[in-house]
Amino acid sequence: MMQRLSSTTTTTTTRSALLRYGGGALRRDVLAPISSSHLTAKSQVGESDTKAARWFSIMSSDRSTFDSSNLKRDLFFGKRYESTAAESSSSAAAERYEYQAEVSRLMDLIVNSLYSNKEVFLRELISNASDALDKLRFLSVTEPGLLKEAVDFDIRIQADKDNGIISITDTGIGMTRQELVDCLGTIAQSGTAKFLKALKDSKDAGGDNNLIGQFGVGFYSAFLVSDRVVVSTKSPKSDKQYVWEGEANASSYTISEETDPEKLIPRGTRLTLDDKGFAHPERIEKLVKNYSQFVSFPIYTWQEKGYTKEVEVDEDTAEDKKDDQDDKTEKKKKTKTVVERYWDWELTNDTQPIWLRNPKEVTKEEYNEFYKKTFNEYLEPLASSHFTTEGEVEFRSILYVPAFAPSGKDDIINPKTKNIRLFVKRVFISDDFDGELFPRYLSFVKGVVDSNDLPLNVSREILQESRIVRIMRKRLVRKAFDMILGISMSENKEDYEKFWENFGKHLKLGCIEDRENHKRIAPLLRFFSSQSDEELISLDEYVENMKPDQKDIYYIAADSVTSAKNTPFLEKLAEKDLEVLFLVDPIDEVAIQNLKSYKEKNFVDISKEDLDLGDKNEEKEKEMKQEFGQTCDWIKKRLGDKVASVQISNRLSSSPCVLVSGKFGWSANMERLMKAQSMGDASSLEFMRSRRVFEINPDHSIIRNLDDAFKTNPDDEDALRAIDLLYDAALVSSGFTPDNPAQLGGKIYEMMGMALTGKWSTPGQFQSTVTQPHTPETLEAEVVEPTEAGGQK
């Protein structure tokens, strides 16, 4: 069975180890040719040399011909070197082998159906090279002779866009001829069966078929981008170098001995791919930095570079027209700056994985610099957390809390923010997650996670079903909460104010979606209150300020702090000096309802019926019901189905009445939110509205006047209209929206007309009206006519 090798798989057999084949690169000062093109270049090879000349990356592999002065000349005068694929044929006869049947099927699947993102081929092949280097380093401890060729441990990638060739070379363990047959021509039946079953399950689930690498088939990802792959490899245990060549649609492959001296490598493996799509130096460099930035071995890419120099330019002909005196003056030669181009190796993975270091040795500046570089940020984070978890699941991670939310703040809805970068053995795997590592309410947290326990290619199905991932998620969430709690406890309160302004809604969403972590979320919440002087307070601060006999945490939901402060529900609590939380965000009420309690204190909505302020007087309540019971029934009869009942209130002191929600009904704030839902259920809205309770204040003059009106004449139209207007006024003051605002306006105008009649009449008009009974005829002519005329104006 083919499987990926790493430094941890130290007990595997040589054959299994060599699956992640090694590769060869020459000494740092001697680079092997990667071209098999035969070009005529007399000026570079020599005038007398009439044979076809072979071109090299930088210099000849023949150490005797190496001249540092020539190298300097070639580099700094912009020699353009060709690099094409190594010829697969050699003087030795190639032997043809048939693929195992499962391999042919597997290659067809890889080429035609597996990957939608083909660029991961480079990640796979670099991982193979890294594993081969790891294996050689481990084996060399007990077999020092394996390192008889003094070459560095590195990986080199060269892209030739002119010829469409990619070359990947490493100096790892390499392979013998038999190992080429065993590792690249066959796959253990069990491994193939598992792979094909996983592929079928993934397709049936409609998931991402990102499975290469889980079952030891990472090498075949080369056929994603290349129809023809050449593997030239030399094991330090063998004196011979072999060439494996295969094509994507072929049923066989060839193996031959390499006899061309110019293609020999001291140790390792070189892959040559025919691909025009990815064979661009800039693209290769970008892919290496994206996927393999933190591979433990240096990765060099072949890049075009330049340097500036001054060169002489021709004199301007206008200079010839200068006078004789100027001619006698010594002229300075004119120069200009030009850029000379040349090609050379460049270290591409120069950033070391900071998470592998001891947190005590990493400075705050290093954490901040890593954050800015990794996530393209320009502001420092509010906090960071660097930790390692051990036990049944081991992984390392660095998490950050950004200073600001992204523009638009849409990540609370869309969890796919690409803020968490998952690495497996320092190889970047993905940043495209949908809640597998972090819940969406923590989607603002940024960071890197590096695990050795996950397969190199992690499909969406594996992330969702893996027990390892579930354990990682739980620990990451806890660490994120610890980090946020640290900000809240900081002496610099401005940091948490900034955090709450940007990410407070995320935590409130967590109250709704993550019941398991309520105890961690609740201490982080902040609200305005009736006693906080427009400053946010925590639930801990509220509990500390509670009265000794206070059992509950009181709150009211409103559209603003101003509305909450002026609500009639607050009157009695303000008199008793009881603090009330103001929930002014649309999500606040739902969040608090999901919390239900905090430190054994229940949350109580003061706009709901049956409010208990701890001062019940049963005798007084009984007297009030006897005195106003019939009046309540009279008002209920007038209001009909608008209210569920009419009761005596214990929460009012200065207002005549208030409209409260039923115990299980919607508050005014919730009703407003439900109305805003375009797909809301109208029948549910009507049912919840019918549960309202109309509470009256028996100590208010308006209520007492209505009581007198009921006892005098229950059918008095003015009294009945007063009840209607009183209900509408309570509806507005309690935060509800009237069904017919225009009708409410008409009622108000009518009452104003009745109240203001005759109040601002002129003294003459008032005197005429008083004396009218004594001189009716005269006064009628004098008073009425002007009034009628005035009415026509």
Tell me whether residue 697 is annotated as binding.
no
Tell me whether residue 24 is annotated as binding.
no
Residue 572 burial by CB count (10 A; 0-12/13-18/19+): exposed, middle or buried? Answer: buried
Within the chain, what is the greatest distance between any pair of CA atoms? 146
Residue 303, number of CB atoms within 10 A of its CB: 16
Q: Same structural domain for residues 118 and 267?
A: yes
Q: Same structural domain for residues 153 and 180?
A: yes
Tell me whether residue 218 is annotated as binding.
yes
How does residue 318 score in pLDDT terms, banded at 50, 70 and 90? low
Query: Which structure tokens are listed for 566?
Result: 């002026």
Residue 339 forms part of a structural domain: no
Segment of 3-12, 681-690, 749-758 carrying the highest mean pLDDT: 749-758
Which residues are within 8 A (CB) of 218 and not within 5 positions of it... i.e. 6 or more apart? 4, 20, 124, 125, 127, 128, 212, 456, 457
Residue 161, number of CB atoms within 10 A of its CB: 16
Q: Can you tell me the distance from the alpha carbon of 133 to that of 21, in angstroms, rounded to the nearest whole number?
A: 9
Please give the residue range of the domain that contains residue 781.
Answer: 763-792
Tell me whether residue 215 is annotated as binding.
yes
Instruction: Please tell me the total number of residues recorded for the chain in this structure.
Output: 793
Q: What is the mean pLDDT of residues 645-661?
A: 92
Q: What is the mean pLDDT of residues 509-537?
A: 93
pLDDT tens digits, one per residue of 336-389: 888 888 899 999 988 778 999 999 999 999 999 999 988 888 899 999 999 999
> Between 756 and 77, whose confidence is greater?
756
Which stretch of DSSP H or E encloses residue 484?
helix 467-488
Q: Same structural domain for residues 406 and 459?
A: yes
What interhelical angle do 493-513 and 588-595 show, nearest 10?
70
**CATH code of the domain covering residue 413:** 3.30.230.80
Residue 431 forms part of a structural domain: yes
Query: Which structure tokens are listed for 370?
Result: 């890593």
Please give the pLDDT value at position 1.
32
> Between 776 and 377, whose confidence is greater?
377
Under a CB-based contact definition with an 8 Å cutoff, are residues 345 and 300 in contact?
yes
Percent of the chain with pLDDT over 70: 71
Please give the pLDDT value at position 66.
35
Total number of domains constituting the chain: 5
Residue 636 forms part of a structural domain: yes
pLDDT score of 50 more than 80: no
Among 403-412, 543-552, 623-632, the range scoring the smallest mean pLDDT is: 403-412
**CATH code of the domain covering residue 702:** 1.20.120.790
Which residues are within 8 A (CB) of 428 and not within 5 positions of it... i.e. 6 or more apart? 123, 290, 291, 292, 293, 294, 421, 422
Q: Same structural domain for residues 468 and 533?
A: no
Among 203-212, 471-480, 498-507, the range scoring the smallest mean pLDDT is: 203-212
Q: Pick from 574, 605, 636: which residue ends a domain?
A: 605
Residue 611 forms part of a structural domain: no
Which residues are within 8 A (CB) of 653 and not within 5 positions of it... i.e. 6 or more apart? 571, 572, 575, 697, 699
Among 155-159, 327-331, 369-373, 651-655, the range scoring the smallest mean pLDDT is: 327-331
Please give the pLDDT value at position 456.
67
pLDDT score of 562 more than 60: yes
Tell me whether residue 128 is annotated as binding.
yes
Q: Same structural domain for residues 458 and 578?
A: no
Residue 169 forms part of a structural domain: yes
Which of 622-657 are b and which e, b meaning 16 or more Cβ less than 10 Å from the residue's Cβ?
A: eebeeebeebbebbbebbeebbbebbbbbbbeebbb
Tell me whether residue 175 is annotated as binding.
yes
**CATH code of the domain covering residue 91:** 3.30.565.10
Please give the pLDDT value at position 25.
36
Tell me whether residue 640 is annotated as binding.
no
Among 185-199, 243-257, 409-423, the range scoring the smallest mean pLDDT is: 185-199
Tell me whether residue 189 is annotated as binding.
no
**Alpha helices, DSSP H only, in 150-253?**
177-184, 189-204
Q: Same structural domain for residues 702 and 725?
A: yes
pLDDT score of 138 more than 70: yes
Q: Are strands 552-557 and 601-605 parallel, antiparallel or unpaired?
A: parallel
Spatial strand order in the sheet of 299-312? 95-98, 252-257, 241-247, 228-234, 268-274, 165-170, 155-160, 299-312, 335-347
pLDDT tens digits, one per residue of 306-315: 888 888 887 6
How does residue 70 score in pLDDT terms, banded at 50, 70 and 90? very low
Residue 337 forms part of a structural domain: no
pLDDT tens digits, one per residue of 285-313: 999 988 888 888 999 999 998 888 888 88
pLDDT score of 90 more than 70: no
Please give the pLDDT value at position 247.
87
Residue 48 forms part of a structural domain: no
Q: Same structural domain for residues 390 and 468?
A: yes
How does residue 503 score in pLDDT terms, banded at 50, 70 and 90? very high
Tell me whether residue 190 is annotated as binding.
yes
Q: Same structural domain for residues 745 and 769?
A: no
How does residue 15 score in pLDDT terms, banded at 50, 70 and 90? very low
Concatenate the DSSP letters of all residues of 402-468 into one string.
-SSPPTT-GGGT------EEEEETTEEEE---SSSSS-GGGTT-EEEEEESSS-SS--HHHHHH-HH
Q: Same structural domain for residues 730 and 773?
A: no
Q: Same structural domain for residues 231 and 373?
A: no
Q: Same structural domain for residues 784 and 727?
A: no
Tell me whether residue 735 is annotated as binding.
no
Q: What is the mean pLDDT of residues 220-243?
A: 90
Under a CB-based contact definition with an 8 Å cutoff, are residues 55 and 37 in contact?
yes
Which residues are within 8 A (CB) of 521 and not within 5 positions of it... i.e. 6 or more apart? 481, 507, 510, 511, 514
Among 260-269, 359-368, 428-437, the range scoring the smallest mean pLDDT is: 428-437
Residue 750 forms part of a structural domain: yes
Residue 432 burial by CB count (10 A; 0-12/13-18/19+): exposed, middle or buried? Answer: middle
Sign of CA dihedral 307, 308, 313, 318: positive
Tell me whether residue 226 is annotated as binding.
no
Under a CB-based contact definition with an 8 Å cutoff, are residues 658 and 695 in contact?
yes
Q: Same structural domain for residues 105 and 179?
A: yes
Backbone dihedral region for residue 408 (phi beyond 0: left; psi -120 to 50: alpha; all else: beta): left
Tell me whether residue 219 is annotated as binding.
yes
